A and B are shown apart, each in its own frame.
Chain A
Amino acid sequence: MLSSTAECLFWLGRYTERAANIARGLGVASRMASLSASLGGESAEWRALLVASGGEEAFSEKYETISQDAVVDWLVRDQDNPSSIYTCFEAARRNGRAVRTALTVDMWSALNDSWNDLRKRDLARIEGEELPAFLDWVRERALLFNGAATDTMLRGEAWRFVQLGTALERADNSARLLDVRHGMLAVGETAEYAQWQAVLASASAARAYQWVFRDRLDPKKIAELLILRPELPRSLVACFGRVSELLEAIATEQGGRQGECHRMAGELHARLRYARIDDIFEEGLHVFLTRKIERAAALGAAIDGFYIRG
């Protein structure tokens, strides 16, 4: 496959996943903000989300203070933000259009309709009470795209590059969303029960927790679920496992050609597979997650170097 085609498919997967995860983060933050407003911790919520989305610097060049309105503006509709929901949808559609014949009709319709619907919406008015419904819509569009891909795409190289983008983006986003709330999970911290629920909600894992542990919420168990449990599709170990598995499949299809990205993905996955939650807490959750975010970025660069710039 042409490297440029693979690049478009990979980023198509990444941008779609990113849009959905920004919607998850925003949804949880806005609920938390309303809960903590009485405690005066409102702006801390928005700051944390901003940091997690990785755009704090660019944000501060444009906005004076971190407020709900400013952060929602920045993450939903700001065209200067390369990771706003608006730009993610636009970029996903642009990448899809460039490789339209590599997509199925259903995938293209999902992408194209998302973009056309988004353009028709009055984005400036999405705030306050409008916001949750809009964020649900964003997540639904990503679910539709993923469903279209899963149901209709030939299981070849094109499929694997889309999936690779989705899995790597999800690994990165999961680590970031968890990192936003690492303080609430730290040992000895007495956080509100609602905040623990919020942590799970940001990974769409509230019910999963009950299925796995059948127990009351416990910070260490929450972290274990979101980092180390392979059965949760958004846990770090599951995402990196998927990345590694996809890279191996692409290599096998090409007669075994492998590079640094394969080694890195394998190592990342193996370390998570054999990690213990007590050790992670001992080291510090934030330090641990920061390292994983950096490793995910390095892995992305290695994939790019091997398959796309190669």
Chain B
Amino acid sequence: MTMAFDEMRDGEVAQATYAEIAAWVERTPLDQLRQKSAEAELLFRRLGITFAVYGEGGDPERLIPFDIIPRIIAASEWRALSAGLEQRVRALNAFLGDVYNEQRILKAGIIPTALILENAAYEPNMVGFTPPGGIYTHISGIDMVRTGPDDFFVLEDNCRTPSGVSYMLENREAMLRLFPKLCARHRLAPVNRYPEHLLATLKSVAPERAGPDPTVVILTPGSFNSAYYEHCFLADEMGVEVVEGADLFVENDVVFMRTTAGPKRVDVIYRRIDDDFLDPECFREDSLVGVPGVMRAYKAGNVTLANAPGAGIADDKAIYPYVPEMVRFYLDEEPRLANVPTLLCEREADRAEVLANLEKLVVKLARGSGGYGMMIGPHADEAMREEFARRIREKPGDYIAQPTLALSTVPTLAPGGIAPRHVDLRPFILFGRQEITMVPGGLTRVALREGSLVVNSSQGGGTKDTWVLEEAAPPSQSQSQSQSQGQGDA
């Protein structure tokens, strides 16, 4: 594997965007940085920002490690990224509308029909149904990685219930509290309006009869879910209720929540539970966290679900290689964001190539998440590679493979001092009826173990605050804004 690109310094010299950070890290004694790091941990603990891991022993209420050295993205870089993200989300959404209706992309022979129709993520209940505004992916998280100054790649799309946005928001709060001066020396693009944008996005897709002030709720599987804190956090920030399945019921195809003032009609459900558990009438009968009848209400147009059931077909890892084609097909544009070259073990030629190069490739489950069920070839031992070769031969359709990318690094506070650690980036994109919005940046995840390429919090990953730097406004503009009415040019 080649030397990874470091975002702060390419060689000896720090990037201009990182100049302040480099100087700060240089002049601040390590002890002091550690002290601040401990303060940050205390802060998160007190705020109760934990994620729950059950069934692994130890304290189930864990803290995601937070690294105090921020990750910086230049304004120009963000402009390019955000344009690409918007384009990609539009294409994914158009694809969903298409595969559940006309299926033009299949008829055109661009994506093999079997890959869609026989895919477990393809939701037959959604065929022939168009959700309000034709929007399926109201909230998506597109995972980006970087390998060089101008080389950004999409690693995967998350179109179901991407999590982590609360860390993005809390990380910024923590930085502003711990390092006010350092923050002030940068023009940080603010992220704190995310909840407001999210609420506007959700309200924009409410059924029409709901009127100007629709009732929005967040549906959580409950306090044992690893992202429960986030569900409560977002509900609190938006001023909406966080509900569990038992709080809702369906009568005459209308969803109500049980309140002390009697049943209250619900218009939009931001559901943070998987399709499978959403409605025991439609999906898994044994689901205890769902709402019986909610799909009937949805299809009757009485309630909006965000994201739409069946949206997962768009982020399936076997579909991922086709996303650039989707951009061309639906938008008639060239993709602005590149994919990582991906081999589908399902295809015979690809499979042969994967099996011959296991020591170089990353093998992933086509339908896995959280960093489970994956193998990083260069880091795996012989036994593990053989195990994966066996699994691939057994169920080729379950696996994809990609080259092992030298993910970019950012300086990080490690046990032995400041050291480079690999990072990725998950921006959150909101797709409403009128517009697509995203706050600048997203969640930077960092693999804290030396050399590790796995950033997932369930696998020892941490997070960093992500700073998108705004460019200075032209002076003439700021002058005219500071003038008052009627003063003339004097």
A contacts, CB < 8 Å to B? 1-4, 6, 97-98, 100-101, 157, 161, 250, 254, 257, 307-310
Bound-state Cα–Cα, A6 to B241, Å: 13
Within 8 A of A (CB), among B244-264: 244, 246-247, 257-263
* Inter-chain pairs besides A4-B243, A101-B236, A257-B261, 6 sampled, C-beta below 8 Å: A2-B243, A3-B258, A4-B244, A100-B48, A100-B232, A310-B260
Distance from B328 Cβ to chain A, minimum over Cβ atoms (Å) = 46
Across the interface, do B223 and A97 meet the contact criterion of CB distance under 8 Å? yes
Distance from A90 Cβ to chain B, minimum over Cβ atoms (Å) = 15
Across the interface, do A254 and B261 meet the contact criterion of CB distance under 8 Å? yes
Bound-state Cα–Cα, A308 to B246, Å: 12
Within 8 A of A (CB), among B159-217: none
Distance from B261 Cβ to chain A, minimum over Cβ atoms (Å) = 5
Bound-state Cα–Cα, A308 to B258, Å: 8
Distance from B401 Cβ to chain A, minimum over Cβ atoms (Å) = 43
Interface residue tally on B, bucketed by range: 10 to 19
CB neighbours of B235 from chain A (8 A): 101
CB neighbours of B232 from chain A (8 A): 100-101
CB neighbours of A3 from chain B (8 A): 247, 258-260
Across the interface, do B48 and A6 meet the contact criterion of CB distance under 8 Å? no
CB neighbours of B259 from chain A (8 A): 1-3
Across the interface, do B241 and A2 meet the contact criterion of CB distance under 8 Å? yes
Distance from A279 Cβ to chain B, minimum over Cβ atoms (Å) = 37
Bound-state Cα–Cα, A161 to B260, Å: 10
Across the interface, do B262 and A4 meet the contact criterion of CB distance under 8 Å? no
Distance from B240 Cβ to chain A, minimum over Cβ atoms (Å) = 11
CB neighbours of B246 from chain A (8 A): 4
Across the interface, do B260 and A157 meet the contact criterion of CB distance under 8 Å? yes
Bound-state Cα–Cα, A76 to B258, Å: 36
Bound-state Cα–Cα, A308 to B247, Å: 10
In the complex formed, the residue of A with least CB distance to B261 is A254
Across the interface, do A4 and B48 meet the contact criterion of CB distance under 8 Å? no
| 26 A-B residue pairs with CB within 8 Å | A1-B259, A1-B261, A2-B241, A2-B243, A2-B247, A2-B258, A2-B260, A3-B247, A3-B259, A3-B260, A4-B243, A4-B247, A4-B258, A97-B223, A98-B223, A157-B260, A161-B260, A250-B260, A257-B261, A257-B262, A307-B260, A308-B258, A308-B260, A310-B260, A310-B262, A310-B263
Bound-state Cα–Cα, A97 to B224, Å: 11
In the complex formed, the residue of A with least CB distance to B243 is A2
CB neighbours of A6 from chain B (8 A): 260
CB neighbours of A101 from chain B (8 A): 232, 235-236
In the complex formed, the residue of B with least CB distance to A1 is B260
Bound-state Cα–Cα, A98 to B224, Å: 10
CB neighbours of B262 from chain A (8 A): 257, 310
CB neighbours of B247 from chain A (8 A): 2-4
8 nearest CB pairs, A to B: A3-B258, A307-B260, A254-B261, A6-B260, A1-B260, A4-B247, A101-B236, A2-B241
Distance from B232 Cβ to chain A, minimum over Cβ atoms (Å) = 6
Distance from B381 Cβ to chain A, minimum over Cβ atoms (Å) = 42
The winner among B246, B259, B262 for most chain A CB atoms within 10 A is: B259
Across the interface, do B258 and A310 meet the contact criterion of CB distance under 8 Å? yes
CB neighbours of B223 from chain A (8 A): 97-98
The winner among B232, B257, B258 for most chain A CB atoms within 10 A is: B258
